[in-house]
Structure 1
């Protein structure tokens, strides 16, 4: 996967506003990426605190257990601090928090 694709993913994810999430699939479709997993790979590789990787979840709203910055617990903590609603410990409420 090219570094340019990683940069495209990072730039796109930066536009997700605080308090909202997007799915890996939404990001992939917006960028014309056929394999949704590539979005996950790019986000997992990010070492920048400027890329809000925590705002990307799977299609069911599930948090990433291997979240790049200390696991799903940290991802949950960051999302809660932004006002994202949850339906249980591992799933974001997509009805209220999904960015269209």
Structure 2
């Protein structure tokens, strides 16, 4: 009978755990965004925004890449180089 073998993976358990535990921002959900049309930015706009993470909200320098009348989709780079995106309430965003 055959044997159950794992062949040639370069993904370690440590890499999987590190990826799974990286902080992820908490984005607004579809119900919160509603049915309003989304305006995509022609060019990203420099902003500062309060972004919620499970541990704590933080204020980040970021860019607005899309918006509705109530919410803004922001994009920012974490210290480790990971790019994150999240929908936040428009009142949490200021132009810089």
TM-score normalised by length of structure 2: 0.25
**Structure 1 or 2: more strand by fraction:** 2
- Considering only CA atoms, is the larger Rg found in Structure 1 or Structure 2? 2
Name which structure has the greater RCO, CA cutoff 8 Å, separation 6+. 1
**Structure 1 or 2: more helix by fraction:** 1
